[in-house]
């Protein structure tokens, strides 16, 4: 059987904390157990917030934890061409449209009375996009572009589902959850076309400020690196159906997914960059050892 390929994919926009350590160690331990491969991918799409010194500090923390990985690491900032090519192919198939909305426009449209049933639950990027720019005419789009207005590119979710053969076919798409979703979801998880339309909606695949979105980049990169198991926090479980749909649209393989519990602070909030005392650098400075840290994480 081919070796498993695990990955840890941090964004160098702050310091690694206990939650990151849990994720990285879970993936690394799994790779060791199966004599598989372990990769690190630097998710540095956001050129404003991601900084080389933060990347160096992250890699230093990971080494201290006892991890090693294949060199060179892959950086998303070096992969813009691959993202642009995939966008061009989706655009040619008529599955994307430009969205000129600002955050304020979207909030205003969302707060207007909605037709039909009440607002669906939030999707992985917040409430589903209300569709304002989906219905712009071609001349209107051309005018706005000509005036220099910046735009994002959104996936027309209904058209994407139709392009794959319709809701019935999409409902047969699935992924294998070898960890657990936030509500105990495990095993074979089927895509729900209704959920894709109502919860996720027309997700952005390229943003106004950079030429891809997390969803597109992560899907393409996991395929490019031959990742067979995606280990990550259960907060991303809701994004996985989008990644599965993109794999189908772009002809990429589907890895298995291991979503894991989140590490929380004393108030039960998931750790974030604000929890400076839970940063690995702070814990290291206090003199904690990697073994003690593993114990603290029940690993
Ligand atoms: N870069 C993401 C993060 O730091 C993780 C993405 C993923 O594992 O799919 O939260």
pLDDT digits (tens, 9 = 90+) for 136-152: 999 999 999 999 999 99
Answer yes or no: are the C-beta atoms of 225 and 74 closer than 8 Å: yes
Determine the 3-state secondary structure of 83 from DSSP.
Answer: helix
| pTM, to two decimals | 0.95
Tell me what pLDDT residue 157 has: 98
Between the CA of 259 and the centroid of ligand 1 the distance, in Å, is: 11
Q: Which residue, judged by its Cα, is nearest atom 6 of ligand 1?
A: 9
Assess whether pLDDT exceeds 50 at residue 116: no
Task: Select from 215, 223, 262 the least CA-distant residue to 240.
Answer: 215
Q: What's the pLDDT band for 186 if we cut at 50, 70, 90?
A: very high
Question: What number does the ligand 1 atom closest to the CA of 23 have?
Answer: 8
Q: How far is CA 33 from CA 29, 200, 233, 299, in A?
A: 6, 36, 20, 14
How crowded is residue 211: how many other Cβ atoms within 10 Å of its Cβ? Answer: 17
Q: What angle do CA 83, 60, 5 make, to 5 degrees?
A: 50
Q: What percent of the chain has pLDDT over 70?
A: 98
Tell me what pLDDT residue 210 has: 87
| Cα 129 to Cα 240: distance, rounded to the nearest angstrom | 18
Q: How far is CA 81 from CA 50, 63, 86, 121, 218, in A?
A: 19, 30, 9, 34, 14
Tell me what pLDDT residue 266 has: 83
Mean of pLDDT values over 122-149: 95
Mean of pLDDT values over 47-71: 96
More confident residue, 30 or 273: 30
Mutate to test the pocket of ligand 1, among 9, 62, 262 (most ligand atoms within 8 A of CB): 9
Assess whether pLDDT exceeds 70 at residue 118: no
Instruction: Find the range with the poorest average confidence among 88-92, 117-121, 163-167.
Output: 117-121
More confident residue, 118 or 193: 193
DSSP state of 146: H
């Amino acid at each position: 059987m081919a070796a498993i390929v695990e990955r840890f994919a941090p964004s160098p926009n702050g310091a690694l904390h206990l939650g990151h350590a849990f994720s990285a160690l879970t993936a690394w331990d799994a790779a060791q157990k199966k004599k598989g491969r372990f990769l690190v991918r630097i998710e540095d799409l956001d050129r404003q917030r991601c900084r080389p010194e933060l990347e160096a500090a992250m890699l230093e923390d990971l080494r201290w934890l006892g991890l090693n990985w294949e060199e060179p690491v892959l950086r998303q900032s070096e992969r813009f061409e691959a993202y642009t090519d995939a966008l061009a192919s989706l655009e040619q198939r008529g599955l994307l449209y430009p969205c000129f909305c600002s955050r304020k426009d979207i909030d205003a449209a969302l707060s207007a009375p909605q037709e039909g049933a009440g607002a669906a639950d939030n999707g992985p990027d917040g409430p589903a996009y209300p569709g304002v720019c989906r219905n712009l005419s071609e001349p209107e789009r051309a005018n706005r572009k000509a005036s220099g207005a910046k735009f994002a590119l959104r996936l027309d979710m209904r058209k994407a589902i139709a392009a794959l053969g319709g809701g019935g076919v999409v409902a047969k798409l699935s992924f294998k959850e070898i960890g657990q979703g936030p509500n105990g979801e495990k095993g074979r998880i089927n895509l729900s076309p209704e959920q894709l339309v109502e919860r996720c909606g027309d997700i952005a695949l390229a943003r106004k400020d950079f030429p891809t979105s997390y969803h597109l980049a992560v899907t393409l990169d996991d395929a490019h690196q031959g990742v067979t198991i995606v280990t990550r926090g259960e907060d991303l479980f809701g994004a996985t159906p989008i990644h599965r749909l993109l794999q189908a649209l772009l002809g990429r393989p589907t890895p298995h997914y291991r979503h894991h519990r989140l590490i929380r602070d004393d108030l039960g909030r998931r750790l974030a960059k604000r929890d400076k005392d839970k940063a690995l650098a702070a814990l290291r400075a206090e003199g904690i050892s990697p073994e003690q840290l593993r114990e603290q994480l029940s690993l």
